[in-house]
């Protein structure tokens, strides 16, 4: 049985860090990825990863660099083996869901094989749906001998509350386009369509449990959603506003129903929608505020989302 006092945890992705925190193991966390920024008390931990590209360039350029690296079978991220060796972790929490989101699983295995002073156990998360996120929290909790059930139950209760509050939309659910990337134009997949449905909307394009699909301007115009929500992967509110601007200058932008109705929104995708951890529940609350403002107000306006 794992003894809590002996744990030395390293998280290689933000959602894993947040799962560790929700399980009450923040004090056992010794290392994090360069993208981990929540909760605030973890930001002084050793940084174990870095990126081979800059996120400060336009979306189109980021996409080209990502494609170039993946085509060359080179990981977008790299692990600092010297830091990992010094930390002597007992467990490393990573993912095997998306090579664009964090260090690839094979890279982690290679790094662990090179360690000589420790033999950490790898816990790999594989979230595609909300149920997968609950399963990941359970997997981490059981592996580390922490009671995960009250935590998952509380999160599920909040989901149920949102679902109940959105029942008034079931007869005529608004069609919602969740934009996960702007150049090329991509719709959000995986857990996002599921969240939209729970919030009372009808997602266009994206399919629950499947990766995010591209969409052309002609397809977006043909779908003509009632609501458009920008949630670019890895960007906060300010950066999302900047990335959305070129789309608003497209000659067909004004033809969209969502634009004409004033139902276009930006969100902090980096903090919420892009992270398959406990804060997906807050992401759902943001969606219910956007789609059902007369009924729902969780206080996220201005920090988690704004009108464009």
pLDDT for 209 equals: 81
Sequence-distant (≥ 6) Cβ neighbours of residue 52 within 8 angstroms: 69, 74, 75, 76, 77, 78
pLDDT for 111 equals: 81
Does residue 263 contact residue 226 with C-beta atoms inside 8 Å?
yes
Tokens of 205: 């394009």
Sequence-distant (≥ 6) Cβ neighbours of residue 208 within 8 angstroms: 129, 189, 190, 191, 193, 194, 197
149-165 and 130-143 are packed helices; what angle lies between their axes, rounded to 10 degrees? 160
pLDDT tens for 132-163 read 999 999 999 999 999 999 999 999 999 999 99
149-165 and 280-291 are packed helices; what angle lies between their axes, rounded to 10 degrees? 10
Class of domain 4-147: alpha beta
pLDDT for 1 equals: 45
Beta bridge partners of 264: 228
Does residue 269 contact residue 232 with C-beta atoms inside 8 Å?
yes
Quote the radius of gyration of the chain (alpha carbons, Å). Answer: 20
Tokens of 228: 């458009």
Buried b (16+ CB within 10 A) or exposed e, 39-51: eeebeebeebbee
Q: For tokens 């933000």, name the residue.
A: 14
| Edge-to-edge strands, sheet with 9-11 | 46-47, 29-32, 9-11, 91-95, 121-125
Sequence-distant (≥ 6) Cβ neighbours of residue 64 within 8 angstroms: none
d(CA 243, CA 61) in angstroms, rounded, equals 12
d(CA 144, CA 16) in angstroms, rounded, equals 13
Topology match between the domains 4-147 and 170-299: yes
Q: What are the structural domain ranges in the chain? A: 4-147, 170-299
The superfamily CATH assigns to domain 170-299 is Nitrogenase molybdenum iron protein domain (3.40.50.1980)
* Cα Dmax for the chain: 62
User: In this structure, is the dihedral angle defined by the CA atoms of residues 153, 177, 94 and 22, taken in order, positive or negative?
Assistant: negative
Closest alpha carbon to 267 in 296, 290, 298, 299:
290
Ranges of the chain with pLDDT below 50: 1
């Amino acid at each position: 049985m794992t003894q809590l006092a002996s744990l030395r945890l390293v998280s290689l992705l933000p959602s894993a860090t947040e799962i560790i925190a929700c399980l009450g193991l923040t004090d056992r966390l010794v290392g994090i990825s360069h993208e981990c920024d929540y909760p605030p008390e973890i930001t002084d931990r050793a940084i174990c990863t870095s990126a081979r590209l800059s996120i400060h360039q336009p979306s189109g350029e980021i996409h080209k660099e990502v494609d170039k690296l993946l085509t060359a079978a080179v990981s977008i991220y790299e692990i600092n083996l010297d830091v990992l060796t010094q930390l002597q972790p007992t467990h490393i929490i990573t993912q095997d869901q998306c090579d664009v989101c964090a260090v690839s699983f094979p890279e982690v295995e290679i790094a662990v094989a090179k360690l000589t002073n420790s033999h950490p156990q790898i816990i790999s998360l594989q979230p595609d749906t909300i149920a997968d996120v609950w399963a990941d929290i359970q997997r981490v909790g059981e592996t580390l001998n922490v009671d995960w059930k009250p935590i998952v139950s509380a999160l599920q209760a909040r989901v149920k509350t949102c679902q109940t509050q959105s029942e008034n939309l079931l007869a005529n659910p608004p069609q919602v386009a969740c934009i996960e990337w702007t150049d090329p134009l991509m719709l959000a997949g995986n857990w996002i369509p599921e969240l939209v449905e729970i919030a009372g909307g009808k997602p266009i394009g994206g399919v629950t449990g499947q990766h995010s699909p591209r969409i052309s301007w002609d397809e977006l115009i043909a779908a003509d959603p009632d609501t458009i929500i920008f949630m670019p992967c890895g960007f906060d509110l300010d950066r999302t506003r900047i990335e959305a601007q070129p789309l608003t200058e497209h000659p067909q932008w004004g033809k969209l129903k969502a634009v004409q109705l004033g139902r276009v929104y930006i969100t902090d995708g980096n903090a919420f929608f892009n992270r398959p951890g406990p804060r997906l529940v807050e992401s759902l609350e943001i969606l219910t505020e956007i789609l059902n403002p007369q009924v729902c107000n969780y206080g996220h306006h201005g920090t988690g989302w704004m009108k464009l």
